[in-house]
């Protein structure tokens, strides 16, 4: 092994332990990047001699289930509570999105591509955050640095994460994502790769037997900014007509969710996952004190009845949440409290 790889490996050495399991875990309401990154990062730690296991905060979504079934892989086990455990966080960096008990766990690593969250610990730990398309690309880079061979299964789960978060390499694709994608495709040898993302999107937008609240919660995240807490849910549908119908179903739940959770504002994005000419459109809705005023200030396109229709698709991570946080922190909105 060369000196550089040895140096990189030594940086990771503190993440795990040879006797105590380190749980590598993504955010609540897990998505494909979160799950794929956890699986591949846990494998990397094991390859470096640590006791590590991938875990999830809850059941995987239909997209992740579809891909794991296709590859004949098991979803990681659910970790209900991390209190007293050793955990490495992937694809998030805030307590609001972390496994219950994270405040009382020993956090040994954070690997993320979202805006920096509030995760902290008394001791210094390994952290890698960068504005790339997928956390899985950062996992790939770490394999390269440490010179650890990537097995086909791990290449596949990393590709699952990259395809999901970049919408089939069409959005937020950085040079690293491109490099990772090309290298992983070579290793993964997936038959029918060209149509894989389309099938993933279809699986994501087909909620099967799930009721509206389960759909709402399946990709829901909470944030805090300017002393306020807010939630942003993402739902998906195929085609403009279905998007409108899904938006109405989600709208019907918002008052209830707002009342039940400890949040001040609630936003819902409904994406069009269809491949017709309207595929980039999306709906956004806002509820709670000052929420509509905030969206109006940011986007000027409300219909005065909670609905905001966009002709382009905006990413929650790179566009919507940063805009809301900025709006909240500088805001004309309830200026006395922000
Ligand atoms: Mn991600």
Q: What is the CATH number of the domain that holds 101?
A: 3.90.1640.10
- State in Å: Cα 337 to ligand 1 middle: 31
Contacts of 182-189 with CB under 8 Å at 24 or more apart are: 183/140, 184/140, 184/150, 184/155, 184/156, 184/158, 184/159, 185/159, 187/150, 187/151, 187/152, 187/155, 188/152, 188/155, 188/156, 188/159, 189/152
Rounded-to-integer distance, Cα 182 and Cα 185, Å: 5
Low-confidence ranges of the chain (pLDDT < 50): 332-338
- State in Å: Cα 34 to ligand 1 middle: 6
- State in Å: Cα 31 to ligand 1 middle: 8
Q: Classify residue 206: in a domain, yes or no.
A: no
- State in Å: Cα 210 to ligand 1 middle: 23
Query: Are 177 and 244 found together in one domain?
Result: no
Query: Are 234 and 194 found together in one domain?
Result: no
Q: Classify residue 73: in a domain, yes or no.
A: yes
Q: Classify residue 176: in a domain, yes or no.
A: yes
- State in Å: Cα 294 to ligand 1 middle: 26
DSSP annotation of 132 reads -
- State in Å: Cα 213 to ligand 1 middle: 23
Contact between residue 126 and residue 52 where contact means Cβ atoms under 8 Å apart:
no
- State in Å: Cα 10 to ligand 1 middle: 26
Rounded-to-integer distance, Cα 5 and Cα 145, Å: 6
- State in Å: Cα 177 to ligand 1 middle: 12
The pLDDT, as a whole number, for residue 338 is: 30
Domain end call among 199, 225, 257? 199
Query: Are 194 and 294 found together in one domain?
Result: no
Ligand 1 (ion): which residues have CB within 5 A?
33, 91, 135, 165
- State in Å: Cα 36 to ligand 1 middle: 10
End-to-end C-alpha distance for the chain, whole angstroms: 53
Write out pLDDT tens, residues 154-202: 999 999 999 999 999 999 999 999 999 999 999 999 999 999 999 999 9
Query: Are 235 and 185 found together in one domain?
Result: no
- State in Å: Cα 26 to ligand 1 middle: 9
Query: Are 247 and 150 found together in one domain?
Result: no
For 274, other C-beta atoms within 10 Å of its C-beta total 20
Q: What total of structural domains would you count in the chain?
A: 2
Query: Are 29 and 93 found together in one domain?
Result: yes
Backbone angles phi, psi at 130, to 5 degrees: -155, 150
CATH of the domain at 298: 3.10.310.20
Contact between residue 287 and residue 250 where contact means Cβ atoms under 8 Å apart:
no
> CB under 8 Å to 265, separation ≥6 — which residues?
228, 230, 231, 258, 286, 287, 288, 289, 290, 291, 294
Longest alpha-carbon distance in the chain: 63
Q: Classify residue 207: in a domain, yes or no.
A: no
- State in Å: Cα 304 to ligand 1 middle: 32
Taking each helix axis as running N to C, give the angle between helix 152-165 and helix 32-47, from 0 to 180 degrees, rounded to the nearest 10.
Answer: 150
| Three-state SS at 108 | strand
Domain region containing 296: 212-330
- State in Å: Cα 124 to ligand 1 middle: 23
Whole-structure pTM value: 0.89
Provide the pairing of β-strand 22-25 with 52-56: parallel
Write out pLDDT tens, residues 271-288: 988 766 566 788 999 999
Q: Classify residue 35: in a domain, yes or no.
A: yes
> CB under 8 Å to 256, separation ≥6 — which residues?
none
Q: Classify residue 336: in a domain, yes or no.
A: no
232 φψ region: left (φ > 0), alpha (ψ -120 to 50), beta (else): beta
Q: Classify residue 26: in a domain, yes or no.
A: yes
* Joined tokens for residue 173: 């694709």
Query: Are 177 and 270 found together in one domain?
Result: no
Query: Are 288 and 195 found together in one domain?
Result: no
The pLDDT, as a whole number, for residue 110 is: 98
Backbone angles phi, psi at 233, to 5 degrees: -100, 150
* Joined tokens for residue 231: 């939630």
Average pLDDT score, the chain: 92
The pLDDT, as a whole number, for residue 332 is: 47
- State in Å: Cα 278 to ligand 1 middle: 25
- State in Å: Cα 303 to ligand 1 middle: 31
The pLDDT, as a whole number, for residue 305 is: 67
Q: Classify residue 338: in a domain, yes or no.
A: no
- State in Å: Cα 170 to ligand 1 middle: 15
| Three-state SS at 107 | strand
- State in Å: Cα 113 to ligand 1 middle: 7
Rounded-to-integer distance, Cα 275 and Cα 299, Å: 25
Query: Are 125 and 54 found together in one domain?
Result: yes
Query: Are 38 and 114 found together in one domain?
Result: yes
- State in Å: Cα 156 to ligand 1 middle: 16
204 φψ region: left (φ > 0), alpha (ψ -120 to 50), beta (else): alpha
The pLDDT, as a whole number, for residue 336 is: 35
| Three-state SS at 55 | strand
Rounded-to-integer distance, Cα 98 and Cα 110, Å: 11
- State in Å: Cα 326 to ligand 1 middle: 21
- State in Å: Cα 265 to ligand 1 middle: 23
């Amino acid at each position: 092994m060369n000196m550089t790889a040895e140096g990189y490996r030594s940086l990771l050495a503190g993440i795990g332990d040879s006797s105590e399991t380190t749980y590598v875990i993504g955010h609540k309401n897990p998505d494909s990047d979160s799950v794929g990154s956890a699986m591949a990062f846990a494998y990397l730690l094991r390859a470096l001699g640590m006791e590590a296991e991938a875990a999830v905060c809850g059941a995987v979504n239909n997209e992740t289930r579809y891909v794991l079934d296709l590859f004949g892989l098991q979803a990681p086990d659910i970790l209900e509570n991390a209190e007293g455990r050793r955990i490495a966080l992937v694809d998030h960096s805030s307590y609001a999105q972390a496994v219950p008990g994270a405040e009382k766990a020993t956090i040994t690593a954070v690997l993320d591509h979202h805006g920096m969250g509030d995760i902290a610990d008394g001791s210094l730990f390994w952290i890698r955050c960068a504005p790339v398309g997928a956390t899985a690309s950062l996992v790939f880079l770490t394999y390269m640095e440490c010179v650890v061979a990537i097995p086909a299964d791990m290449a596949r789960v990393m590709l699952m994460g990259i395809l999901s978060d970049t919408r089939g390499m069409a959005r937020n694709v950085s040079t690293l994502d491109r490099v990772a994608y090309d290298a992983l495709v070579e290793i993964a040898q997936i038959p029918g790769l060209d149509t894989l993302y389309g099938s993933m999107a279809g699986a994501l937008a087909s909620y099967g037997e799930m009721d509206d609240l389960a759909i709402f919660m399946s990709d829901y995240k909470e944030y805090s900014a300017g002393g306020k807490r807010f939630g942003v849910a993402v739902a998906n549908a195929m085609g403009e007509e279905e998007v409108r119908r899904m938006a109405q179903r989600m709208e019907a739940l918002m008052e209830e969710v707002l009342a039940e959770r400890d949040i001040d504002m609630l936003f819902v994005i409904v994406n069009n996952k269809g491949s017709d000419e309207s595929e980039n459109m999306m709906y956004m809705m806002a509820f709670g004190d000052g929420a509509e005023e905030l969206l109006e200030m940011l986007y000027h396109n409300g219909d005065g009845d909670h609905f905001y229709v966009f002709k382009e698709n905006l990413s929650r991570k790179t566009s919507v949440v940063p805009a809301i946080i900025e709006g909240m922190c500088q805001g004309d909105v309830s200026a006395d409290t922000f």
